Amino acid sequence: MIHNRKKIYAASVMLVSLMVFSVGEITAQESAKKEVVISKDLKWSERMALSIIKRAPKAWQIDNNEKPKWDYKLGLVTMSFEELYKKTKNPVYANYVNEYGETVINSSGEIMNYKLEDYNIDNVNAGKILFDLYKRTKDKRYLIAMQTLRKQLETHPRTNSGGFWHKKIYPYQMWLDGLYMGTPFYARYSTEFNKGKDFDDIAKQFEQIHLHTIDKNTGLLFHAWDESKQMPWANKETGTSPNFWSRSIGWYMMALVDVLDYMPKNHPKRKELIQYLNEISAAVAKYQDPSGLWYQVTDSAAKEGNYLEASGSEMFVYAFAKGVKKGYLPSQYKKLAEKGFDGLLNKLITVDPDGEIHITQVCASAGLGGNPYRDGSYEYYIKEKIKIDNSHGLGPFILAALELEK
């Protein structure tokens, strides 16, 4: 009987401790939200970052996630925090990334909820934060995780022409999104650990996408290409999906300017990638709205239901601004970038009385195929959920603001 009482007492203490811990954690989160002060004198890049921290004291909580996960969207946001830290040297931003890294990669270097055999190119994107985490902390877990992601690329399935499939569950398909998910990580890894030997293969990814998705009438790129031409969404002659989605073109343009950071100046394919950037930039510029922004379906401004979309607009602004700064694009694109950023501030940014800022009109997600089936029609793109403060609109806003020093 005494033994049972002891057991009951111990269980009660444990339960109370857990309750205290849970309450303590909630209190800590609430106080963190209250403590974040967002001055209107700060640049827009920091105002957005501090607003994100206020809403989500831990990076994995962005998008109202209920538990931590390794995720390309969280990788996009934390990578923008890395760039912000480099610019400001404010440890708040580095610590935000550090905490995410420690949460989703264990001490043995295993990545949370990651399976190499899924061959999902999206899963490579968050790996971009690992280079700086490893340099900053010297923690081997980040090196091991980088090596794991690089190993995925070694055996990742490819089209017959050499392009990475978007995912194993989407055989023979290349999506514009996948260029951003995979190639900047591939390029930096090659530069830092592989003596730059992979750039022919990296260039091939862009060559394949450019060759198979470009529309000769508009100069824009279709969202995806199915080499097998078997998917119901695929054009039976070309294999392309039927519409232009601004964010997918934005992913492609960001991939170009970011890969060029690492591509050797004497590499024979470098000029080709710069040419691709110039061609797509000229095409995209034609569809910039008088507001400075771009529509969800890029070429269909006047069509019913289309709307000015935040994330694609931010990505175009980033690519234009960085392209000019690095000397890849003519100087007039800086003005287009400025106009685009002003459009974001005038049309899509809202500011709370306490200084917290929000980005509106972000397409939450869009893709092709899958279950429920996504047919790539105009109606499909305009009917996907539109959200406020969705992660797709957070990271690119910070990156665009940093490039324009706003």
By annotation, the residues acting in catalysis are 177
Please check whether residue 192 is in contact with residue 135, taking contact to mean a CB–CB distance below 8 angstroms.
no
Counting beta carbons within 10 angstroms of the beta carbon of residue 272, is it exposed (0 to 12), middle (13 to 18) or buried (19 or more)?
middle
Please check whether residue 348 is in contact with residue 44, taking contact to mean a CB–CB distance below 8 angstroms.
no
C-alpha dihedral (218, 222, 227, 231), degrees to nearest 10: -130
Residue keyed to tokens 């055996």 = 155
Dist CA 36 CA 95 (whole Å): 14
- List the one residue out of 176, 177, 198, 205 whose CA is nearest residue 263: 198
- List the one residue out of 172, 175, 192, 174 whose CA is nearest residue 184: 192
CA distances from 32 to 35, 54, 367 (A): 5, 7, 36
Which residues are within 8 A (CB) of 380 and not within 5 positions of it... i.e. 6 or more apart?
366, 374
Please check whether residue 246 is in contact with residue 280, taking contact to mean a CB–CB distance below 8 angstroms.
no
Dist CA 132 CA 95 (whole Å): 12
Residue 371: CB atoms within 10 Å: 6
CA distances from 9 to 20, 113, 156, 326 (A): 16, 37, 54, 67
